[in-house]
Structure 1
Amino acid sequence: MHTMKNTSLLLSGCLIALCISCQNNNGKTEQQEHEDSISVHDEHTSQTSLDWAGTYQDTIPCADCPGILTTIKLYENGNYTYNAEYLEQNTTLQDSGQFMWHENGSVVHLKGKNVDTKYKVGENTLYQTDTEGKVIEGEMAEKYTLHKVF
């Protein structure tokens, strides 16, 4: 009887130790799963990593003229000025206001009275985008790029 009591106590002790061990392992597994599910956010964006403030200029394509001389100035305080001169047409489109960064920190949105356009900010370059903020691609892509002049 004494041996049976010791065996029961020993089994009970092992069972308790096993349960505690399983609980600790489950806690680690949940924590590991939680750590694995946390995505690492790269804080390096055009907004935080590039010297984006300045004047960008180039001539972009025009359907009924030789081109549109486009000048955009981005200021560190979040303001912009926009000037588009339609070559050989005596037409100029101007606007100014505050631009906004999209949540990804790489696209600026210029929206004013006369302008509603987006540009992806690169190293000394603004890449014109479509309405969804995707860079224009294909053979004509380079023609829709403004370069920093100062």
Structure 2
Amino acid sequence: MKKQILALALVSVALWSCNVDTKTVTVSIDTVSPIESDTIQEDSTLIADDHNAQNSLDWAGSYKGTTPCADCEGIETEITLNNDATYIIKAKYLGKDTKVFQENGSFSWDKTGSVIVLNDVKDRHSKFFVGENTLTQLDIDGKKITGALSDKYVLKK
């Protein structure tokens, strides 16, 4: 008899501990008075993140690297960007000539603030993506160059 009472007590405790209590919470919402329509100004423009390469990175300085060349060993390239939106490009065609070609001019930022366009360049790509201590040469359409040699188009500070 004690065993039956003990078993019944254990089953009761087990069932009672598995019972889930549900609680009801009542939330009251205060009413808000209507707003006059002439006090609301609609702005249909999206709020964009104001951080970009132009205003968030220390982009001014000299960037160097050797970019691929169709008829030489490579083009040893140095681009210096100045705070006054001017640039200097120095290029040496390796295995072809010892002369260093130099061009000066101004550059402008695209609307994203992450790409510069070198104005007045002759016979070379003019768009570069500005990254953290890097300039990445872009193709004619302004897109990143892909493929096996894509890392060769990155100039480093």
TM-score by length of 2: 0.69
What value does the CA root-mean-square deviation take over the aligned residues?
A: 2.2
The one of 120, 130, 142 equivalent to 2:151 is: 142
Q: Does 1:101 align with 2:104?
A: no
Whole-angstrom distance in 1 between the partners of 2:115 and 2:121: 20
Aligned to 1:132: 141
Question: Is 1:65–1:86's contact at 8 Å kept on the other side of the alignment?
Answer: yes
Sequence identity (%):
43
The one of 55, 58, 67 equivalent to 2:62 is: 55
Whole-angstrom distance in 1 between the partners of 2:120 and 2:45: 38
State the Cα distance separating 1:26 from its structure 2 match. Answer: 9.7
Unmatched segments (≥5 aa) in structure 1: 1-23
- Post-superposition Cα deviations, 1:47-80, rounded to whole Å, max 9, x if no partner, equal 0000000000001111111110000000011110
Counting matched residue pairs gives 121
Segments ≥4 residues shifted beyond 3 Å: 24-27
Question: Is 2:74–2:94's contact at 8 Å kept on the other side of the alignment?
Answer: yes
Tell me, what secondary structure is at the counterpart of 1:47?
helix
Whole-angstrom distance in 1 between the partners of 2:61 and 2:85: 11
State the Cα distance separating 1:101 from its structure 2 match. Answer: 0.7
Aligned to 1:15: none
Structure number having the greater helix percentage: 1
What does 1:2-81 align with in structure 2 at a 5 Å threshold?
Answer: 24=34, 27=37, 34=42, 37-81=44-88
Question: Is 1:108–1:121's contact at 8 Å kept on the other side of the alignment?
Answer: yes
Unmatched segments (≥5 aa) in structure 2: 1-33
Question: Is 2:125–2:137's contact at 8 Å kept on the other side of the alignment?
Answer: no
Tell me, what secondary structure is at the counterpart of 1:77?
coil
* Max Rg structure: 2
Moved more, 119-128 or 106-115: 106-115
Question: Is 1:109–1:116's contact at 8 Å kept on the other side of the alignment?
Answer: no
TM-score by length of 1: 0.72
